[in-house]
Amino acid sequence: MLARILMASSAGVLLTLGVIHLIYTFWGEKLTPRDPALQVRMSQVSPLITTQTTMWRAWVGFNASHSMGAILFGLIYGFLAIAHSQLLFQSPFLLIVGLVMLGGFFALGKAYWFSIPFNGIRIASACYVASIAASWA
């Protein structure tokens, strides 16, 4: 039971971070530059890979897809922890995939994010690892 609660908690943290980030991506100004001229310029310049988008549209798309990844992790691992915990905890593949995903978020958070999402990832990672340890006990 402890393993399920810890895994669901880990998933809940990622789900919450993903939903908040998605809201910030499309509503409000939290993910817009402090300098309005930068957003204007980003809306006018394309990346080298293509002229079919702008840096601003890519920025919004990257933020939205990043949010969707966190939401997907939270929904899948939360569902598995609650409804199919035996499958989850007996599958090295699922446990390793989740750990690698959280490890990737952890590395990105350490290198690029600010303290609130990074601390959320730290908590989610600790709950995830503790859930695996609890499932082995």
* % of the chain at pLDDT higher than 90: 99
What residues contact residue 10 under an 8 Å CB cut-off, 6+ apart?
A: 77, 102, 124, 125, 127, 128, 131
Q: What is the pLDDT of residue 16?
A: 98
**pLDDT tens track for 70-126:** 999 999 999 999 999 999 999 999 999 999 999 999 999 999 999 999 999 999 999
Task: Please state the rounded mean pLDDT for residues 40-68.
Answer: 97
Q: What is the pLDDT of residue 64?
A: 98
Q: What is the pLDDT of residue 101?
A: 97
Average pLDDT of the chain, as a whole number: 97
Give 90's Cβ-side CA count (13 Å radius): 4
Do the beta carbons of residue 80 and residue 72 sit within 8 Å?
A: no
